[in-house]
Amino acid sequence: MRGRLIRGEAVCLLNLGNIPAGLAAAQASADVFRSPQIPPGSRNLAWENVASLGSQLWRAGQSALSIELLREAIAHLESGGATLVAGQYRITLAGVYRDLGQTDDARAALPPGDGLPPAVRGAFLAESAQLHLATSHPEPAVADCRELVALWRAHPYTPAPEIASAEALLASACLAAGNAAEATVLATQAAEVLGPSQHPDAASCLVILALAQAHSAGVCDSAMIGEAFRLIEAAPLLGPAEKARLKKAETAKIQQSSADVPVVAS
């Protein structure tokens, strides 16, 4: 309990911009979970808490310590036989590396994709697709996303926003593969689900729609792109680092678009 309380303090401090105190609290939290006094039967749970701390540090913008803690925790989880939990955090680690542009390390971090339960398989497919997009391989990204959408649609209890977020990722992959028409259809239906709740993935839908319009009409609606960035900034559950990361991703999508057209105000 003490380690989790300190972990929460660390994340709050980091999101408030008190980086030195936040990192010190994060190290203190990790030290609690590393304690040799933890009973053998509880050590995998302790290392899962270290991995969770690493994941939260990434979302708070502290990639270096995030990688350190994730790698340490994954190694201990795997040696302790908790391979499924380790696999979940391998997917997180891959996302950290991808965010830093270290795509070879990201690919190496991913666990084997076969034999995973649906929730973990879904996370694997989403990360694999984003990694393919980051390395300019849209066709395998489309294949991953199609499987992801089918996976969530087939599960009777998948929340509608989860399906819509997968459709938004598929739309992004389709656009990168040059299929602007399908990207438009997918982004439109995903936005209808994500938009009313101002889900941050609705921003991606708006950018895709603006870029798809550019492919077909020769102009790109700057108001739509502006609204996408406003949605990210207004998202109440995202910290500053997460907002910056999403804005960076959407900016890269715009810059990488093959549509060499002017951006105009509507």
192-247 tens-digit pLDDT: 999 998 899 999 999 999 999 888 777 777 888 999 999 999 988 888 889 999 99
Residue 265: pLDDT band (50, 70, 90) is very low
Q: How far apart are CA 23 and CA 14, in angstroms?
A: 7
- Retrieve residue 62's tokens: 């502290």
Least confident among 43-52, 108-117, 205-214, 249-258: 249-258
Q: For residue 56, is it within any domain?
A: yes
Residue 96 scores a pLDDT above 70: yes
Q: For residue 148, is it within any domain?
A: no
| Tokens 């190290």 found at | 27
Q: For residue 237, is it within any domain?
A: no
pLDDT, tens digit, for every residue of 119-128? 999 999 999 9
Q: Which domain holds residue 91?
A: 1-97
**Distances from the Cα of 101 to the Cα of 130, 141, 249, angstroms:** 12, 17, 12
Domain count of the fold of the chain: 1
Q: For residue 160, is it within any domain?
A: no
Share of the chain above pLDDT 90, in %: 77
Q: How far apart are CA 78 and CA 51, in angstroms?
A: 12
- pTM of the full structure: 0.90
Q: For residue 65, is it within any domain?
A: yes
* CATH of residue 87: 1.25.40
Q: For residue 49, is it within any domain?
A: yes
Strand intervals (E) in 125-260:
220-221
Q: 220: which strand partners? A: 263
Q: For residue 222, is it within any domain?
A: no
| Tokens 């989880």 found at | 77
Q: For residue 68, is it within any domain?
A: yes
Q: How far apart are CA 153 and CA 118, in angstroms?
A: 11
> Residues 236-253, buried b or exposed e (16+ Cβ, 10 A)?
eebbebbbebbeebbeeb
Q: How far apart are CA 186 and CA 180, in angstroms?
A: 10
The residue-averaged pLDDT of 3-29 equals 90
Phi, psi of 153 (to 5 degrees): -65, -30
Q: 263: which strand partners? A: 220
In what helix (H) or strand (E) does residue 264 lie, and over which residues does it extend?
strand 263-264
Radius of gyration, alpha carbons of the chain: 20
Q: How far apart are CA 163 and CA 158, in angstroms?
A: 7
Question: Any idea what DSSP says for residue 265?
Answer: -
Phi, psi of 264 (to 5 degrees): -125, 155
